[in-house]
Amino acid sequence: MVLVPIVSGNGASVFSFDRSDTVWFGYPAPGLNSLWTGQDTTSGTDRLKLVVGPLRAGILRELVRPCTMGSLASRPSCTPATVTYHCGQLEAAGLLTRERRGQHVVARRTNSGGALVGLLSG
């Protein structure tokens, strides 16, 4: 597998499966937005987002109190399936737990999840 940074918009990606021995993925090079806007995007960088990604960082931050999966999925551009997948990954990493309560599933940040948020947000 070969990762290739490309100069393109934030949402672009390119991939190729033409060769049987190599697969390559092109992704937007970090910091490209500053080329078009003239703004430095490196200052004030959210370290938690850099480590776990923007959606997972948002989920961990929202879990100051336990939340239902439905309330987590009410974020813009977020489906219940997407939240379920990312919460599963966070749960596998020991950063949150999920518990069924009747018809709802409640997510709760673990001590490790809280420590990570505190460490990378401070």
Q: Which residue's structure tokens are 């489906």? A: 79
Residue-wise pLDDT tens digits, 6-51? 766 556 666 676 777 877 777 666 666 565 555 555 556 888 888 8
What's the pLDDT band for 59 if we cut at 50, 70, 90? very high
Asked if residue 68 has pLDDT above 70, the reply is yes
pTM for this structure?
0.64
User: CA-CA-CA-CA torsion for 26, 93, 83, 76, nearest 10 degrees?
Assistant: -70
Q: Which residues pair with 99 in a beta bridge?
A: 106
Integer-rounded Cα Rg, in Å, for the chain is: 18
CATH class of the domain at 47-121 = mainly alpha
| pLDDT for the residue 31 | 64
Dist. CA 10–CA 54, nearest whole Å: 14
Here the tokens at position 62 are 């929202």
Q: Which residues pair with 101 in a beta bridge?
A: 104
| pLDDT for the residue 83 | 92
DSSP 27: E
| pLDDT for the residue 110 | 95
Q: Where are the domains of the chain?
A: 2-37, 47-121
Q: Which amino acid is at 84?
A: T
Q: Which residue's structure tokens are 């033409």? A: 18
